[in-house]
Amino acid sequence: MTHPLESLIFACLAIALALALFWPQQGFYWQIRRGNRNTERVVIEDALKHFYDREERGSAGTLASLAGSLEISHDKAASLIERLQKMDLLQTYRHGFRLKSEGRSYSLRVIRIHRLWERYLADETGVPEVDWHREAEFREHRTSADQAEEMAARMGNPQYDPHGDPIPSSTGELPPSNGILLTHLPVDELALIVHIEDEPEILYKQLVAQALHPGMKVQIAEKSQDRIVFIADGEEIVLAPVAAGNVTVEPLPKEQEMEGPYDTLDTLSPGENATVIGISRACRGMQRRRLMDLGVVPGTTISAEMRSAGGDPTAYGIRGATIALRSQQAKQIFVNRKEAA
């Protein structure tokens, strides 16, 4: 029989190897499988999306910008553009290239699937916010138009993805956008966040960390070269201009006022009452539906009943039933505290 120490060392090595290979998401096996996905279809669709994106921002895509965005060599980018032109999807335009109408509708189809997937991941799964984009990027090329329609129908034909980007309708229509970048918003003017850009990931992570999401009311307090201070739903937030430039807002009419900061349900101690103002937009999908099914809608009176022996879930009296919620969820319910009568 082998020496026990040898077999121990061998087993530890084998386990470490197996973990390194098959660890979900980061394992080599999965990375290799993902790495092999650059088929012709994927490359073409990514290229179309790139040109579409450029046009939306008011400039034309070039050979260099395509190579940079897809992380391929200039030679490959050149042959890719040639192919797109042969397929009658792309035409030259001034110094760069422009999508033909056929190419435009193809790219809108891909964008529709991408945004539907993001919405699906946000609402119907527990995939963390920072992974939505990457995951959708992976799945969009594997979804047929029929599957996408089925998915949209099942979700009730959503109009916006979780970052606030409109999902093109199946006929390729988009609403007019009258948003401006947060960095361009004049000081003291009130506006509504309509969109949060999810690329590049490092900036998006900063915005997620600040709990910013579409639907929040913002007001700039101070602008300078190296930082922007603003109030979002009553809370003061400081961002670098490069990060703030990834937030799009829509100015609101003058008569509206800044609201908040709101109290949240988790601040109630047992015995206190409060009226619901709303549920945070960050609370989505199944969890949001569950809360609304329980009767957590604006105007409902909620009383905190008791805390668990373990300290966390707190039982609340909601419309005659006693429901325990974790503090993490109660944090997402905005309330107006009632003074004890």
Partner 1 sequence: MKKQAVQAEEILNSANKLRWQIGDQFHDSLMESIYRDAERISQTVVNKKDEKPRFNWDRTLDRILTSRVVGLPVMMLLLALVFWITIAGANVPSGMIASVLIDKVHPILKDAASVLPWWMSGLLVDGVYLAAAWVISVMLPPMAIFFPMFTLLEDFGYLPRVAFNLDNLFRKSGAHGKQALTMSMGYGCNAAGIVATRIIDSPRERLIAIITNNFALCNGRWPTQILIASLFIGSLAPPALAGLVSAGAVMAVTLLGILLTFATSWALSRTILRGEASTFSLELPPYRPPRILQTLYTSLIDRTIFVLWRAVVFAVPAGAVIWLISNIKIGDLSIAAHIINLFDPFGLFIGLNGVILLAYIIAIPANEIVIPTILMLTVLSLHMAGVGEGAGVMFELQNSDAYMRLFNAGGWTLLTAINLMLFSLVHNPCSTTLYTIYKETKSAKWTAISAFLPIIMGLLLCFFVAQIWRLVQGMG
- Give the footprint of partner 1 on this chain (CB under 8 A): 1, 4-5, 7-8, 11, 15, 23-25, 121, 124-128, 156-160, 166, 169, 171, 173, 175, 215, 285-287, 290-292, 294-295, 297-300, 305-313, 315, 321-326, 329
| Identity of the residue, 223 or 307, whose beta carbon is nearer to partner 1 in the bound complex | 307
Shortest reach from residue 101's CB to partner 1, in Å: 18
Shortest reach from residue 125's CB to partner 1, in Å: 5
3-state SS string for the chain: CCCHHHHHHHHHHHHHHHHHHHCCCCCHHHHHHHHCCCCHHHHHHHHHHHHHHHHHCCCCECHHHHHHHHCCCHHHHHHHHHHHHHCCCEEEECCEEEECHHHHHHHHHHHHHHHHHHHHHHHHCCCCHHHHHHHHHHHHHHCCHHHHHHHHHHCCCCCECCCCCECCCCCCCCCCCCCEEHHHCCCCCEEEEEEECCCCHHHHHHHHHCCCCCCCEEEEEEECCCCEEEEECCEEEEECHHHHCCEEEEECCCCCCCCCCCEEHHHCCCCCEEEEEEECCCCCHHHHHHHHHCCCCCCCEEEEEEECCCCCCEEEEECCEEEEECHHHHCCEEEEECCCC
Shortest reach from residue 78's CB to partner 1, in Å: 38
| Identity of the residue, 211 or 294, whose beta carbon is nearer to partner 1 in the bound complex | 294
| Identity of the residue, 119 or 141, whose beta carbon is nearer to partner 1 in the bound complex | 119
| Identity of the residue, 98 or 307, whose beta carbon is nearer to partner 1 in the bound complex | 307
Shortest reach from residue 288's CB to partner 1, in Å: 8
| Identity of the residue, 159 or 336, whose beta carbon is nearer to partner 1 in the bound complex | 159
| Identity of the residue, 61 or 164, whose beta carbon is nearer to partner 1 in the bound complex | 164
Shortest reach from residue 221's CB to partner 1, in Å: 27
Shortest reach from residue 320's CB to partner 1, in Å: 10
